[in-house]
Structure 1
């Protein structure tokens, strides 16, 4: 029973502890049109702890969020990818105007760096082999890691801090650890990359396995008990009814006094060590064989032989014969 309590405690901890902990700080998800705005972003009318510093958006038209960049203006946010935050490598080239073909897919024209007689272009580093002719007529400025952009779509902005990649992969949401400071934590997910639903499923699977094992163990124990009970019943039927002998007063008889013990006959064994009963060749008290010239004492009523020194000590404590447990009727208890 204790095993089941531990199992359910662990499962419920996985399910409910992340939910309870997330109430201490705010996640504050909100929509601007069809765009979900959540940590590290926040709308300007939300509490400061809903988002990371400088990740502020506005929702003026209630359809698309607006990002305001200092000295640049306002930009419409078409999409927010909370999972992947990447940079691409571009090669920047300075070319004369006559050296640039009109149609160059994957080539980006940088107007702010260009002049009247020259143009600055950027080519993805992994596509440079396709435009090898430009490297002969243009001057290589350098290779730079920049956010990828598309002139027909806009520029893609990325961020490195806060780093929520591992949390997002694990199915959780980034949020502040406390009401102060900029330390973040993961809520509702597992940083190891295992979704919470998978953890819960594994826990229930282990629980079902343990239940099956316990039921099997209990079944085997019950079967073993039944076999043992049948075995005992079978033995009782074979042995028949037990005979119980009432305890008599002779069972508690006291030892004999010295004169009574000395009155018991003494036998001195010869070289042949013969006794009336051939089987009487061992003392039942010390379990040693009788030797020639050994002194034996006999209990008269039952004719059992013992070493004199052994039976003398016995009779001082108990008047009954060590073999048949009969007490001589003529014995005198010790005072």
Structure 2
């Protein structure tokens, strides 16, 4: 692979140098527009050097990208076509009125001659309109005041034409079809490049100082002749196309190989997992369950969720995982964690699909959807839940996380606790869902090592970003739960730049300052008991978002705090004085809630 890349870049550089040389060719063919005529010797554009063409054949480009030929004393003409083999050029006047220029039109000072047969025409200025005939025609555009102008071939007898109120203004010798067509053609005799062009060769001017330019015809290279830049460029382009094709094939092969490896890993996991089994379904079963994915419930980070129905009339939520994201780890995490969990506050996995590259999860259907639909509702739906129901929901979430940390054979770190991943059943009982980022570790150990932060911004613990604040442990879930709890209290996102009072932009800090100064919070309070619940949830949330993991309580302690009385709670230290500081710069409390923890590796 490295050798291929070396040759690829080597030939790219060589091609660039050759291509650069061709760009240095000052006399290369050009156009004013994509559909305009090709401009090459004996013609040249004004900005090109004089040796690129002949002085009388100078062209220019208009603002509308039209090709312009300017003749001495005859005005500007639009060039429609140039035939280099027959040495012919087709033009017309820019205002579509060649007849307007007839009195001044003169080709004597130019290298061009009219291509068609010459005829002598007489022009008449009449004060009133006349009947036209084949030999007596009106000019389609006026060029003498407002009176109509007529033209007739001088060699025709005009006795039968009514010329009263008309006077002859001038005679002119013009091409035979001049007065009947808009375009007309001209040709040139010098320089003689027609034979050279007809053979498919290139005509050029020799670089000399003579007033009569000498021309040369560059023949096609004979057999055995040195390869010129054009041929060499084509060879290199062919090689580059071949190399690029091989590179693309390699990428596709490697991608397919990785997909096969991920599929093998999943199959191996499922073989080991067979004894624990939720039901396994084919992809055809999934389509039948979801009625061909008719009812979409939402979009997640790694897939789309649809509503479905099993054969026994049980409604389910079916999550179709995106096969182009991740490496199968999310699927394994979901099945490995949810399949072994049976808790009232954790979504239950009923089945899964691993059919080729198609992967899906079948979970219980929860009709009230996710918690964020209520606490962030613009219509205030969270008011209808009431503070007692919010407290029950908080206790249920805390018990679910405590079960993940302590109630399973192995400790499960969810690492993505947020309102969107808390689903509500018909009685608004909360259930934790979406274990795509989860990690397992031994219950005897406490910490997990990770190479990158996981989770959703706004809920990720500080130690995920910097080890200055401690190692990653189950306390990361405690921090996320604390941020979720404060959002339930405030009924808004913790970080909100749209609020009018800038001091409330970061709600947790605003909340702490009000509680610390024993000020009223006034957050949707309707009854006296609501004040106690709001204050309790706020204090517990602030304990959970302490900046250092060792200062946060475990979820077992959090459950006890939630189920206890508000009067037994004490205000935590200010977590915001530690923001942006390292551990050594902060004065520590004499006692810590948790013992010192040692880091271990995660269980894959």
TM-score, shorter chain, exceeding 0.5: no
**TM-score bin (small chain):** 0.3 to 0.5
Tell me which structure has the larger Cα radius of gyration: 1
**Higher RCO (CA < 8 A, seq sep 6+):** 1
- TM-score with structure 2 setting the length: 0.22
- TM-score with structure 1 setting the length: 0.36
